[in-house]
Amino acid sequence: MSNNLRREALSVFKQLHRTRLKTFRGDEQGLQFTRQKINDEFRKNKDITNEASIQELIKFAKEVENEVRTTVIQVVEKASGRFEAKITPDTAMLDNVPFGQPVDKSQFRKARKCSDIPKGK
């Protein structure tokens, strides 16, 4: 493995651990589990010598780091039935799109039922 690939693999390894520490701050179980998983995956692939495979694994690790950083949020129970979501500036915020127009009761009663459809269709 070339020095550049080794350096890049070490860099993404460290970045995954930094992201883990930030994402799961205060959650010892989450911190331990993700630490073990990251270390196991890197140990499992440490003997790979094909540079193309290594580059693909590095790319995958970067995608995983991005996914954890942008989509995982931590929710903590503050009181019985009350929760607080810890959202970071990196958390991806998507637009909330409504499903459709609300149906009032008069329209609902006029709608066809499954039992109204003839059998065989």
Give me the pLDDT at residue 110, please: 65
Q: Is 16 helix (H, G, I), strand (E, B) or coil?
A: helix
Backbone angles phi, psi at 75, to 5 degrees: -115, 130
Percent of the chain having pLDDT more than 70? 92
Helix (H, G, I), strand (E, B) or coil at 40: helix
* pLDDT recorded at residue 68: 94
From first to last of the 121 residues of the chain, give the pLDDT tens digit. Answer: 688 999 999 999 999 999 999 999 989 999 999 999 999 999 999 999 999 999 999 999 999 999 999 999 888 888 898 998 888 888 888 887 777 777 677 766 666 677 777 776 5
Q: For residue 97, give both structure tokens.
A: 């799109």
pLDDT the model gives residue 114: 73
Contact (Cβ atoms closer than 8 angstroms) between residue 54 and residue 9: yes
Enter the pTM of the model.
0.72
DSSP string over 64-120: HHHHHHHH--EEEEEETTEEEEE--TTS--------SPPPPHHHHHHSPPGGGSPTT
